[in-house]
Structures are given as structure tokens and as C-alpha cells.
Amino acid sequence: MAVEPDVRPHRIELQPSLGSRYEEGVADESGIKPGMLLERKVTNWPNGLKKHSTPNQRDQVMIALEDALQGKTINDAFENDPAGDGSVPGDVVGYLIPARGSVVMLLLDSDEVAYDTDMLVSAGDGTVKVATGTDVTNQDCVAEALEDLDLTSKAPAHIKARIL
């Protein structure tokens, strides 16, 4: 039996839309992964970034990008305080502020089951989850899933989505 080649995208931004912006910040929290939603945190370093921490709430959409120029992939995390003593800032994190309609790879939370056209919201830990219940409105949704992905009993994984 032939082995299927890995056809998953190897980058976060798949189809940019006019108006998308690229920015850089400093990891002010460990474990930031490409495809995670971010928010600003300026307590330790100017331009500090952390994982988006408010579930079901949409802020300005900021998505961590892969650091391909340093030989890293969409599976490599950015770290805070690489020296371990607080003397130097964390890794530089390139991030995307996508325009509406951009197609990206977002990190879907573990144990989620998403279907094509499901609405996705922040899970409160940088990942996204499927929008459910009456407490989530369309204004809270970040993106629309463009593929089916079953992560039942699995770790977070990237899902193709269109920014709303």
C-alpha cells in the first residue's frame, strides 16, 4: 500500500487579502505557536505578545506566523526569556493582522470536532474552538472553518479557515 504524502500546508498564511498587515513583537509568554491568536501584553517588554486569553471574545485578530527564516516550522513554539534569568526579551514573533477574507491555518483546540463552514471563536488559550451555544454571537467569531477536522482525544492541530 502506497504511503500518502504529507499534503498539509507548511505555512500559516495561505491566501492573503488586500489590507493584511505584518508586525513583530516579543514573546512575553512561553509556548506561543504559529497559528495561535495573540494579544498585546506590555508588562515586561515593549511590544510584548501573549496568547489570546479571553474565550468567546473577538479582539483585533493577530495570528502568530512561522519563523521560516530561522529554519522553524508551523510546529515550533516561540519562547519567553530564552536565557532563563529575565535579562533578555523572548523570541521575536512575526504576526499577521489579517484582512477579512484571508485564508489562514489556525490552531484548533484539542478534543474539538470542526466541520467545513463551522464558525470558530477564541478558546481563551491562543487556540480556536467551534462556536456553540447562545452566548456566542457572529460578532465573536474569528473565522469560518474550510475543512473537516476531528481532534477527539488528540492534541491541538492546524485547521484551514477564512477570516471573518
| Domains detected in the chain | 13-163 (2.40.300)
For residue range 60-80, list pLDDT tens digits in order.
Answer: 899 999 998 888 999 999 988
Q: What confidence score (pLDDT) does residue 1 get?
A: 40
Residue ranges for the chain with pLDDT beneath 70: 1-7, 42-45, 82-84, 86-87, 135
Q: Does the global pTM surpass 0.85?
A: yes
Three-state DSSP state, 138: helix
